[in-house]
Amino acid sequence: MRLEHVIASGLANPDSAVGVYAGDEESYALFAPPFDPIIADYHGFGPGGRHESDLEVARLNVPNPDPAGRHVVSTRIRVARNLCCFPLGPALSKRERRIVEATVVRALASLSGDLAGNYYPLYEMDPATKERLIADHFLFKEGDRFLEAAGLNRDWPDARGIFHNPSKTFLVWVNEEDQLRIISMEPGAELQRVFARLARALAELERRLTFAYSERLGYLTSCPTNLGTAMRASVHIRLPGLAADEARLKALAAKHGLQVRGTHGEHSQSEGAVYDVSNKRRLGITEVEAVRQLAEGVAALIAAEQRI
Ligand code: ADP
Ligand code: CIR
């Protein structure tokens, strides 16, 4: 990986929020001059920082922030993971990508109970099914220009796909921005239950796979905004009052450490006053703390909405 590859996405997309991607663990050390200030700015994590993980469900213990079900449409918590000893997506060869897919699919196939499901490779999915899965927020979009310029869409759709259980509460994206995006989601705002399912799935997968992890940076990901926990815990929340002033909504969310996205994820707009609100920071914060931050921030947003 050369510097021109690290910055390719930002050069091709001047409207990038961040614009850099790593090709492997070494990229983060070799290109520390561009990466470290970005990491410090995004996560508030300095050069002396050390990351710690905490996926202990019993330590979370958060109440449902919307028990009446008036605002929160659904809750989703995802983590990114990459396999140890392989390059990250931007530098992965076609052959390596196929090995990653086969390794991950084999691990997923042995899950049982509510985590059992099927793997659907992208190349054999019919277009209508694909559109439906994307529209319903289960599947990644295609042709993202930020990923394209980073080299993450090479050989598309080869070795890409989605695994999910029949109820689509547990899903795994294979070989999109990261080799795995492990997702727990369901309607409503039962954060505790969504987190518990994710933690259980991760414990099962860690018995079968070895993920890339650094003492300093936590779980390694292709985009520096995902390092650390690699976790984005989000709600889809309807806020018609706050929607009248999106700048104020974003400022209020930011006060609670939260980021606001549109109804169809990153780089999308809000539809019907539904926003995707999630923890911004992922490095230098534990998984438990990140979900607690979301619960508290969502409660504050609902209180502000109800005052309008
Ligand atoms: P990522 O979550 O991997 O950072 P995106 O921002 O592109 O990537 O979101 C991926 C998909 O997940 C999108 O379809 C988005 O609408 C959906 N999504 C995010 N949060 C929720 C949620 N709380 N409920 C339902 N769908 C969600
Ligand atoms: C960008 O730079 O806009 C994309 N590469 C995504 C960066 C991470 N997203 C974010 O902070 N919203």
Confidence at residue 267, expressed as pLDDT on a 0 to 100 scale: 83
State residue 67 phi and psi, 5-degree precision: -60, -30
Confidence at residue 277, expressed as pLDDT on a 0 to 100 scale: 98
Any residues with CB less than 8 A from the CB of 193 and at least 6 apart, and which? 186
Number of domains composing the chain: 1
Asked if the peptide bond before residue 127 counts as cis, ω within 30 degrees of 0, the response is no
Residue 232 resides in a domain:
yes
Confidence at residue 283, expressed as pLDDT on a 0 to 100 scale: 97
Which position has the token pair 């930002």? 10
Confidence at residue 265, expressed as pLDDT on a 0 to 100 scale: 87
CATH number, position 72:
3.30.590.10
Catalytic residue among 25, 101, 177, 287: 177
Burial call 17-43: b when 16+ CB within 10 Å, e when fewer: eebbbbbbbebbebbeebbbeebeebb
Residue 177 among the catalytic residues? yes
Residue 33 resides in a domain:
no
- Domain of residue 83: give its range: 57-307
What separation in Å is there between the alpha carbon of 105 and the centre of ligand 2? 28
What separation in Å is there between the alpha carbon of 268 and the centre of ligand 1? 10
Give the global pTM.
0.97
Ligand 2 pocket: which of 7, 18, 221 to mutate (most atoms <8 Å of CB)?
Answer: 18
Encode the chain (308 residues) as per-residue pLDDT tens digits.
899 999 999 999 999 999 999 999 999 999 999 999 999 999 999 888 899 999 999 999 999 999 999 999 999 999 999 999 999 999 999 999 999 999 999 999 999 999 999 999 999 999 999 999 999 999 999 999 999 999 999 999 999 999 999 999 999 999 999 999 999 999 999 999 999 999 999 999 999 999 999 999 999 999 999 999 999 999 999 999 999 999 999 999 999 999 999 999 888 899 999 999 999 999 999 999 999 999 999 999 999 999 98
DSSP state of 82: -
Residue 265 Cα: closest atom of ligand 1: 6
Residue 41 resides in a domain:
no
Per DSSP, the residues of 201-256 read: HHHHHHHH--B-EETTTEE--SSGGG-BT-EEEEEEEE-TTGGG-HHHHHHHHHHT
Catalytic residue among 169, 221, 225, 229: 225
Residue 167 resides in a domain:
yes
